[in-house]
Homo-oligomer: A and B are copies of this chain.
């Protein structure tokens, strides 16, 4: 394992950048083995190019999961599916796509620890049950999955994966009722944050947890219906956004068209704030709010809450560029490219040895000496998890000649674990759970440090819409979990995809 991994660093910023491929190599002792993160889902119903559209749709969602992916189509005769380890562009080729015939499809991109032996966990999972063929894929995490799994095992179920998805399939298959009713009853038992796509021959079902923790949008491409974790995937295939799937909703597509149903009453919506801060692509909209724009507002808000006199503003790429530009616009301090990321890193990139790194060989991120030398720098980042990556970047800027480094974070201190699909380290490793802001500032060697306020974050995302503001899950900042989380065997740090 590289020492980068050992040191920790913001787990979050690695999501975006594909480091897991390398860090996962550390093997089962790696602290990253426990990290399991976001995934992405995509579905098509009623289009002859279902597999190809899924390919491009999943490609647009690739940032949500780089480890494995899969597509399952259905034609009149049977299911066709292919899953593999790697990026969408690596797992599929023309031949494989051509074999995926049919006008309906669901697909998945997934994060997790590497290892071919985990191929079994790649989604969509495909089952045969009394009702025929069944394919399921999910993004999110079920808090009460361990209890349901145990109950199922006690009554004789066998499991081939460790995924929440297989639990759902068992629940559906065990019900003697018709598919939709079985799904509704199964979902009614689930506690957590999730977006599901379920496919049988001739039917596609989409559903969101009762709080809407994980995003899922519906679009149309001609007469075909499209579902995707983020709206950018609709744009990519030329589909028109229709609406976000609502909390507790169950949308069923069959030969008669769309049936709008729900498996749970509408309750308090609680969309994951981290999707806005970090996860989703800047060109996506969640509940009508564009991500780039909301991040830019976070930067502007930060400037209002914590102006600092400096020469340049820079953002930690890629996720904090929008916010940095916002901070710059608001303050009039010029935005500059003080940090740059090498876009060619990825799974097969050989990380520098500890020895070479100590001698100065850079990971994929570098400070741009000519830009920062002799400058007072405002460095915008989205979050601080363990603090070690922040320390490394601050030091990098100083070594490149920065006179001062003022760190501004576009989120409040990250203090509590996520139970809804974002992998987080042990609470003890969350620097903000045990240190004051001043202590963190010292730990990351910054000249000043400021975290965006809760209300500042809310306003940046949703403006002053009271209704909307109450619609965010900020439990990782404020400990206010929208669901019960205290189960004896609650899964605390994993995504149910794995």
Binds B, one of A56-64, A204-212, A379-387: A56-64
A160 engages B125 (CB within 8 Å): yes
| Bound complex: CA A248 to CA B127 (Å) | 32
B59 engages A238 (CB within 8 Å): no
B159 engages A56 (CB within 8 Å): no
Contacts of A371 in B (CB 8 A): 283, 290, 292-293
**Size range of the interface on A?**
35 or more
Binds B, one of A4-12, A256-264, A358-366: A358-366
B56 engages A352 (CB within 8 Å): yes
A361 engages B237 (CB within 8 Å): yes
Cβ of A31 to closest chain B Cβ, rounded Å: 17
A369 near B: Cβ within 8 Å? yes
Which of A88, A97, A130 has the most CB atoms of chain B within a 10 A radius of its CB?
Answer: A130
Cβ of A24 to closest chain B Cβ, rounded Å: 13
Interface string of A288-310 (1 = CB under 8 A from B): 00101100100000000000000
Partner of A93, one of B82, B329, B337, B348: B348
Contacts of A175 in B (CB 8 A): 156
Interface string of A270-295 (1 = CB under 8 A from B): 00000000000111010000101100
B283 engages A340 (CB within 8 Å): yes
Partner of A337, one of B60, B282, B353, B368: B282
For chain A, residues 136 to 178, give those with C-beta under 8 angstroms from any C-beta of chain B: 153-154, 156-160, 162, 169-170, 173-176
A350 engages B129 (CB within 8 Å): no
Contacts of A433 in B (CB 8 A): none
Contacts of A370 in B (CB 8 A): 283, 285, 290, 292-293
Partner of A350, one of B94, B116, B120, B322: B94
B337 engages A329 (CB within 8 Å): no
Binds B, one of A47-55, A416-424, A485-493: A47-55
| Bound complex: CA A346 to CA B156 (Å) | 42
